[in-house]
Structure 1
Amino acid sequence: MERTPSRRSGGYFVVVFGAGQAAARRLGILDALPDRSPLGGIAYTMDRTGVRKPGLGLGDLPVPPRMMLRGDVERADFAALPPDVDIRYATTPTRIEQDACGVEVTLEHDGGSVTERFDLVVGADGLRSTVQRLVFGPHDRYLHRLSYMIAATTLPGSIGGLSPHEGASLLEPGRAMWVFPFADHPPTVLFSYRTDDVDAEFAGRPAERVRAAYGPQTTGRLLGEALDALDASPHCSTPT
């Protein structure tokens, strides 16, 4: 059951380490997952003035992981599905009741609803899971906020004078930014910062909240171009 009307092939990057590769192998999709790690990738730490120092990147790990996009994983998953798997889009559970013989689920679709029985219900619908809420209760009972925010987006191209195979991190007290390069795809950027009021960070546009967290000092080229890209992106994601 998927609440969106169709498949969602977008999304941020995924780093698949050893445990993830073992899981992908058991699922039968490992060979279908690409590795977009850039050849000869270099990582720097940079400040707002543009000063570079050698840094550590994912390629510097003893066993480098595979870098890919969420869409790569999505395509591999769907290609591996048996033909008899029934996928229902624009469908949302509104009631879940378990008994000794199975699970009764009321599903809403296209303005109507239907109740069906299943042997097992698995909730894989994110941090604020509808399945979790219906089975266990309101999110506030279970969410423990860590007072951090994350914002991520794909960049239109290399920024801050970086070459396509170069990544960078900007590390400051209470906030940080990373630029991750790929072999055959534009780089991505990840912002993180501390906040004392998580709810306030969801008010207004994500890019405006991130700018406020990194201001009011002069941004410099790398951070400034990253913030401009975030502001222009229609696909910015902001999980806590």
Structure 2
Amino acid sequence: MSQAKSFATRIGSLIQHQEHRGLLGQLACTALAHRASCVGALSATCRSYGSSAGGEDARRQLLRKHLLVDTMELESDFEDAGMQRADASRLARKITELIIENKLKMEEAFVKQATLEKVILEQTAKIQGFKTELQKAQDMHHAAMDKDLEQQQSYLDKMKAEVRHEIDKLTASQRLDMNLEKGRMRDELMVIRDKTTDLQIKVDREINELKSSVEKAKNDTIKSVITILGTFSAIAFTISRFIQMSGGG
């Protein structure tokens, strides 16, 4: 209370100067120009509550709702501080208008608790809906991926079966070709072996014939030599006999 009285005393001394009166008048005009409707509604509500039996309590509750101070008590404090009633009333009204102006500006700058809760609920619902849609999209995407994977797996299995079949067919064809080639080579080797055998037999026969011819020629030569030697011996013996006979006669 003492602080309020000292504050009222200071404001009263300032209001006594003409410059401060003009400044407060400009502030009051500006506040009234911006929020005249709000102040009028508040004043009308205060008057309506003042005419009833519980008007004083209702007025105090309304002031507590819209103001941070009781203007009637503030005006009384100004009068107790030595200000005139008209100045105290005018100052209290100006302060009331400024407080209402600041309160309305604060209400414009900040959101109400109910609005904030409503927005939070809306955002929570939107987030929940987004989560639901995202989960649904993920489930659909996973289902599509699983289906694609199954299709790819079946396609790979089919390709594996086809490749295995082609490999088996190629292996069988190569095995058949190899068997045919082995049979052909075996036949050729048998033909070559038969030819070699025939050639060997022919060579052996010719060698035997050649040996027989050489042996026969050798025998004939020996016989010829023996015959010639016998002939020469007989001639020599005959000559020696003639010589002996000639010498004896």
TM range (shorter): under 0.3
More helix by share: 2
More strand by share: 1
Q: TM-score normalized by structure 1?
A: 0.17
**Higher RCO (C-alpha under 8 Å, 6+ residues apart):** 1
